[in-house]
Structure 1
Amino acid sequence: MASAGDLMVIRPKRLKLPLWLVLPGLLLRWGWRALWWCLRHPVTTASTAFLLAVYLDHGWQGLVTLLVLVGGVSAVWRWRHEASWWTWFAGPLLGWFRRLTVYRRVWREAMTLCGLAERYDHQTVLPRLLSVRSDPALDVLAVRMVRGQTPEDFQRVTSNLAYTFGRRHARVYSEYPDDRPTRSGRWAWLLRAVDAVRFRDRPSVVYLVLVRTDALRAVVPPFDVPAVPDFAALPLARRDDLSTWCLHLLATHVLVGGATRRGKGSVLWSLVRALGNGVASGLVRLWVIDPKGGMEFAMGRPMFARFACKSFEAMADLLDEAVTVMRERQARLAGSVRVHTPTVADPLVVVVIDEMAALTAYLQDVELRKRIAASLGLLLSQGAGVGVLVVAALQDPRKEVLPFRDLFPTRIALGLTEASQVDMVLGDGARNRGALADQMPRWAKGVGYVILDGSPEPARVRFSYIADDEIRAMAVRFPAPVDAADILAQVGRETAPEPTRPSLPRQRSSGPLLPDALLNLLRQDPDKDGGEQA
């Protein structure tokens, strides 16, 4: 008999099904799972079925013959066109193997320890590894996020993910990291249909890129100089997936930030080299400012239409004249075009400034510094559309040093000294998205991070190294035309001499520089004051 306070345990009645009804249900359930797996993995299913059919018809000899035949075709394919071999054969095959042997094996542990596992309905919910695609240097993991997660959740733990899987570098992309290729030829329609599936928009999927082999350790040799420079794609650097990174220079300004001896010269000279044939033909005018007295750019002097390296007054004059060119083009092109198209008669003017902080922060002449800042502000805010561009390099990207930092649409971050400087150069959140420019090793001169067009995620690149002998050869091979300095009523000189500043006469004061009230107090006779008080 139960009384008040007794604990009562109520168990629901268990429904027991007969064995003849349970077995068919389990078979149907397992069969549906197997069918669904086959539908989700058509390539693996078809390959397994084909190998099984060959084995049933021809035994082990048939499988060995097939393996030798596939190996021969693969070798010839790689020899003739390695890029497509990696895209369609080796990349998916290596990615499938690494997915099973490397990532799936530790996936639950990695997601849990990196803080990406979620709890729902008393169960652990993990991001799902959809596929792995490999190339000679990278593994690209397609990961379906848990509901409620965003790409920023993965970007915050990018470094954790890299070291979890035994790598040093990783990046997270919210969209597919590669650009959709341009197809042509007989089978272009089929390839475009495949690309439409591969590159489709998938908001619930993020792409984790792990650098398996650091292809940027080797020094990058100079690229071939284009016969006609493509201002929308100038080859300057190599990406860590072994592809070429090209700079979109048209209608933009470029800021290069990096500590001393980190390769800013590689960036600037790679750009000058890519523009070489344009300089020689008159399509491009290089106006160069080298506040270090010509230590960086004097070797390439014949390529420059204007060059100022010793006098800060001459540097200010050069910037003022660039503003004059900009104003003239604005008045001439207004109402006809929105973006200037470079021609020999109306060339592209590229103002290259090394160590920009020497002009904007460290110059002692206040009036001259204000004049330079005013010209730079006008060029950066209005010059891109009319073909007067600014390419500047500096070591310290703080606002006090470069107040108009945000006027540079294109930015490159080399090795930096502080973590906060990464976001100063590339924008807020760039370091969380994988731009670890403050952790560059000592060998990584010329290695930096850039923002790809149309994507907020940074890419890691290494710029080509241009040796001194190559610079001298470029100066001989690509000299600027004789009339290169005469674009718009330019002054005859190229570098102004250091102005002679007469010493200002100092007026000697007859007495100490003290207020009159204090002087009167000090001039009072103390004996007189004492007598009056007595």
Structure 2
Amino acid sequence: MTTAGDLMVIRPRRLELPVWLIAIGLVLRWLWRGLWWCLRHPVAVVLVVVGVSLYREFGRAGVIVPVVLAAALSALWRWRHESSWWTWWAGPILGRFRQLFVYRRAWREAMTLCDLAKVYDHRTVLPELLRVRSDQALDVLTIRMVRGQTPEEFQKATANLAYAFGRRHARVYSERPDDPPIRSGYWALVLGAVDRLRFRDRPSVVYLVVVRTDALRTLVDPFDVPSVPDFTALPLARREDLRHWCLHLLATHVLIGGATRSGKGSVLWSLVRVLAGGISSGLVRLWVIDPKGGMEFAMGRPLFARFACKSFEAMADLLDEAVTVMRERQTRLAGAVRVHTPTLADPLVVVVIDEMAALTAYLQDVDLRKRIAGSLGLLLSQGAGVGVLVVAALQDPRKEVLPFRDLFPTRIALGLTEAAQVDLVLGDGARNRGALADQMPRWAKGVGYVILDGTPEPARVRFSYISDDHIRELAAEYSAPADAADILAQVGRETATEPARPPLPRQRRGPLLPDSLLNILDRDTDGGEPR
């Protein structure tokens, strides 16, 4: 009997399974896990099976001899072709070792303390570490995010993740950071299909690149001077993964931002060096403006078709002539091509400006400053397509100093003094994505952040160091042609006139004014009676 107010406890009926059925279920579960592990790690399974078979057949010698032979072949492989040795042999082995004994040991603690773990249904859900791939300098961690996470959350925690795993630098990429290889030969179709699977779009995965060995601490030697520069891939710097970073110069403008003594000269002279072959052949014309009185560029004067370093009037004239070249090419190439292709008859004009703020903000002559700003605005907005490019360097990237900062498609950030300047140079959110240009150490001259093609995440690079002796050698060996100063005379063409066009017939439209007012206007015009 129950009455109102009594507490009733209702328990569901318990289903009791026999012990033998529970044991069978556990065995099947363990067997399935073991089979799944074997399917995911076929190489390890094959090695274990072969090792056991050799040991049963030949004893200890059956295991020691293959290991010694494999070590000898590995050493020979590394000596002959180290890059493929890292890609196919040492990299996977080292990555697997570090995945098991470095990252998995600290994974739960690192994800929790870096605020990347989530709580769902009263239990903690962690991002999953899928794979670790290593090379000479980097560890690339493939991470499956928790449902509802975005790559921005990992990018904000980049510095925390680097120090959590005992390193100083790390990057987070929303897409695979390396490019798919170019396949050729008989197996190109098969390998291409494998690459399409490996490099497929995976929105639920991010890639954490941990810098194990900082390859940017040592100076970068100057790159070789190509006889014909490739304007779509000019090697200027070394990346953290020991590959070259190449600048796509064709049809773009370049802005270099960096504090004093941060290495802007390394960027500019690295660009001049890789263009030197085109300068001597006449394929490239360098017009250089050095407001510091020639302290930076006077040593390489023979390389330049035009050079202005003392008179601001001469600098304004140089920019006006660049606009004239741009107008001439626009008139001549309109309707024929959309992007200019450099030739010996129609070379690429690169206007290099050091300390651009001296022309746009600090110049006291207001009229001259407005004239320079007008020419720069026209060049930056219209010159890229016709082969009149601007490469500018400055210390202060604020809008008051450089009002047309957004007209530079390609930007490079060296060491900066304030965190807000990073976003001013590279774009909004660049610092949150890992571009810590305001935290550069004192040794990092010529180290900066760039945006890789096809990815929004910045990459850290170091530009080659060009000494005074290298500049003198370039000036002596790759001087510009004698007729390079006047490019309009060198081109040898006059500006094309606008073709004559027949007038279009106009349709008679009704008057927009009242008839009375229209009659008065007609009387005044004809000087007589209205029509």
In the superposition, the TM-score normalised over structure 1's length comes to 0.90
What's the secondary structure of 2:26's corresponding residue? helix
Equivalent residue for 2:181?
181
What's the secondary structure of 2:241's corresponding residue? coil
1: CA distance, partners of 2:371 / 2:281: 33
Equivalent residue for 2:325?
325
Q: Deviations over 1:59-90 (max 9, x none)?
A: 32211111111111111111111111111111
Equivalent residue for 2:338?
338
Measure how far apart 1:363 and its partner are: 0.5
Measure how far apart 1:117 and its partner are: 0.8
Q: Deviations over 1:478-514 (max 9, x none)?
A: 0000000121159xxxxxxxxxxxxxxxxxxxxxxxx
Measure how far apart 1:301 and its partner are: 0.1
Moved more, 4-13 or 143-152: 4-13
Equivalent residue for 2:140?
140
Moved more, 44-53 or 197-206: 44-53
2: CA distance, partners of 1:139 / 1:63: 31
Measure how far apart 1:20 and its partner are: 1.7
Give the residue type in structure 2 aligned to 1:155: Q
1: CA distance, partners of 2:359 / 2:415: 22
Moved more, 7-16 or 373-382: 7-16
Equivalent residue for 1:312?
312
Give the residue type in structure 1 aligned to 2:123: Q
Equivalent residue for 2:235?
235
1:417 and 2:444 matched: no
Measure how far apart 1:3 and its partner are: 4.8
Q: Deviations over 1:342-377 (max 9, x none)?
A: 001000000000000000000011111111111111
Measure how far apart 1:196 and its partner are: 2.3
Give the residue type in structure 1 aligned to 2:191: L
Give the residue type in structure 2 aligned to 1:457: E
- Root mean square deviation of aligned Cα: 1.3
Give the residue type in structure 2 aligned to 1:354: D
1: CA distance, partners of 2:54 / 2:369: 80
Equivalent residue for 1:8?
8
**How do 1:5-404 residues align onto structure 2 when only pairs under 5 Å count?**
5-404=5-404
Equivalent residue for 2:443?
443
Give the residue type in structure 1 aligned to 2:264: K
What's the secondary structure of 2:301's corresponding residue? helix
Q: Deviations over 1:15-53 (max 9, x none)?
A: 111112111111111111221222222333333333333
Measure how far apart 1:219 and its partner are: 0.6
Equivalent residue for 1:527?
none
What's the secondary structure of 1:105's corresponding residue? coil
Q: Which runs of 5+ in 1 are unaligned?
A: 491-534
Identity of aligned residues (%): 79
2: CA distance, partners of 1:268 / 1:120: 53
Measure how far apart 1:4 and its partner are: 4.1
Give the residue type in structure 2 aligned to 1:362: Y
2: CA distance, partners of 1:352 / 1:52: 67
What's the secondary structure of 1:448's corresponding residue? strand
CA 474–373 in structure 1, closer or farther in 2 if over 3 Å, else same: same
1: CA distance, partners of 2:51 / 2:198: 27
2: CA distance, partners of 1:6 / 1:93: 67
1: CA distance, partners of 2:155 / 2:466: 34
Measure how far apart 1:280 and its partner are: 0.2
Equivalent residue for 2:524?
none
1: CA distance, partners of 2:47 / 2:33: 19
Measure how far apart 1:125 and its partner are: 1.0
Q: Deviations over 1:192-241 (max 9, x none)?
A: 23322321221111000000000100011111111210001111100111
Q: Which runs of 5+ in 2 are unaligned?
A: 491-531
The alignment of Structure 1 onto Structure 2 pairs a total of residues equal to 490
2: CA distance, partners of 1:322 / 1:206: 45
Q: Deviations over 1:150-171 (max 9, x none)?
A: 1111111111111111111111
Give the residue type in structure 1 aligned to 2:390: V
2: CA distance, partners of 1:314 / 1:125: 66
2: CA distance, partners of 1:197 / 1:51: 32
Q: Deviations over 1:131-164 (max 9, x none)?
A: 0000100000000011111111111111111111
1: CA distance, partners of 2:467 / 2:9: 85
2: CA distance, partners of 1:427 / 1:57: 65
What's the secondary structure of 1:140's corresponding residue? strand
2: CA distance, partners of 1:231 / 1:469: 25
CA 121–148 in structure 1, closer or farther in 2 if over 3 Å, else same: same
Equivalent residue for 2:458?
458
Measure how far apart 1:186 and its partner are: 4.0
In the superposition, the TM-score normalised over structure 2's length comes to 0.90
Give the residue type in structure 2 aligned to 1:269: W
2: CA distance, partners of 1:310 / 1:103: 58
Q: Deviations over 1:289-344 (max 9, x none)?
A: 00000000000000000000000111011011001100110111111111100001
2: CA distance, partners of 1:312 / 1:467: 28
Give the residue type in structure 1 aligned to 2:446: G
Q: Deviations over 1:435-478 (max 9, x none)?
A: 11000000000000000011101111000000001101100010
2: CA distance, partners of 1:121 / 1:79: 54
Equivalent residue for 2:430?
430
Moved more, 152-161 or 56-65: 56-65
Give the residue type in structure 1 aligned to 2:386: V
What's the secondary structure of 1:316's corresponding residue? helix
Measure how far apart 1:267 and its partner are: 0.1
What's the secondary structure of 1:483's corresponding residue? coil
Measure how far apart 1:12 and its partner are: 2.0
